Amino acid sequence: MDSILVTGNGPLAGQIPIAGAKNACLTLMPATLLSEEPLTLTNAPRLSDIRTMTALLQSLGAEVSDLQDGQVLAMSSHDINNHVADYDIVRKMRASNLVLGPMLARLGHAVVSLPGGCAIGARPMDLHIFGLEALGAEIELKDGYLHAKAPGGLKGAVIEFSFASVGATENVMMAATLAKGTTVLKNAAREPEIVDLASCLRKMGAQIEGDGTPEITIQGVDRLHGATHPVVTDRIELGTYMLAPAIAGGEVELLGGRIDLVGAFCEKLDAAGIAVEETDKGLKVARRNGRVNAVDVTTEPFPGFPTDLQAQMMALLCTAEGVSVLEETIFENRFMHAPELMRMGASIEVHGGTATVTGVEQLKGAPVMATDLRASVSLILAALAAEGETVVNRVYHLDRGYENVERKLQAVGARIERIQD
């Protein structure tokens, strides 16, 4: 099993290109199931999760080809010959459940295994089921699979989510594009990935308004057609690499970065003493002077501070001056990186969904273990500022969400290499 070796060596300088968003691409790919005509995605990230979704779509009968070294995905679902999303594929990745809504809408039936992914909490399917049943679906759980059917077709409805779930909003929005009548989603998620999906669906002929707000209205249509759509910039990869110069010092320009994707995150960086400047090519980030300031962080649905940047932010705050409190409100079990950071000399106390971080002057290199996707990259960031060598083990999580992480950090002066087992 591969590991990553990082040797802390001071300030970084240069440019890092930011890829298309993993979470957006994984949502856009199942949209091909809504139409018989081709859907082409450009600016696609080259990640293992994308390969998993490709395998899932192909298992259903879709054709998926990656072009231009994987940055273009050409898909066609003109011949869907299987309506069962098998456990062996779905267990690898949470986003696999996003085939449920499109298959139900187009085929009238679907059997989808309960999903897998990172071990960061239960992340149940209840809101997905609630929304699809409101559209007229009949869903039964049998032997670990959701058996869904819509014998009378899907019909528009007013659906108010108890929580602004990104996945449920995406699944129900896709299903509603082919439902009869009007669907209104209340307390809908507002993430940029939702806006990107709505934009793609509109190119396919869907009638959607209000994406990016808590209320989305979908007027169902009889059919959708093909389209070509660029995947939005990955705001989590962007935020992650913005933290590299914040932690290690120096100045780095993030190519393709946009403030509107990471507004709440930038506010916390500013409070910590990190300068973020817009450029013609993206965002430039530098630590203003000396140690960063302690700041308190509470994760929230967009436009709040992203849960997917909490682990990376904790790595920064481990060397801040003062005491920081991080509150995780989205997923339970999302402080598993804390004990590993403590192996590097960090001072962290975890009580339930709250972590208290007392900054230390210097972290020390140590062997550590990645527990999930974002935790793995948080340990790499911490290692950039640590004295000596850090070996991050079990980095297969990393390849699910970051392409060429070693190459990107090497390009700005980091001493990092992959050790293949």
List, by residue number, the catalytic residues: 118
Residue 67 contacts residue 233 (beta carbons within 8 Å): no
Q: Is the peptide bond before 303 cis (omega within 30 degrees of 0)?
A: yes
Amino acid at 360: V
How far is the C-alpha of 32 from the C-alpha of 226, rounded, in Å? 8
For residues 110-145, b (16+ Cβ closer than 10 Å) or e, as one string? bbbbebbbbebeeeebebbbbbbebbbbebeeeeeb
Roughly what angle, to the nearest 10 degrees, separates helices 126-134 and 166-176? Answer: 20
Strands lying side by side in the sheet with 367-369: 367-369, 389-393, 3-7, 415-419
Distance in angstroms (rounded) separating the CA atoms of residues 248 and 251 = 9
Residue labelled with tokens 């898909």:
75
Locate 86 and state its tokens: 């098998």
Per-residue tokens: 388: 């000596």
Assign 160 to helix, strand or coil. Answer: strand
**Amino acid identity of 258?**
R
Closest CA relative to residue 169, chosen from 157, 160, 156: 160
Give the helix/strand (H/E) hosting 39: strand 39-42
Residue 245: exposure state from Cβ atoms within 10 A (0-12, 13-18, ≥19): buried
Report the length, in residues, of the chain.
421
Q: How far is residue 415's CA from residue 406's CA, in Å, rounded to a whole number?
A: 9
Give the count of alpha carbons within 13 A of 49, CB side only.
25
Q: Whose structure tokens read 């060429």? A: 404
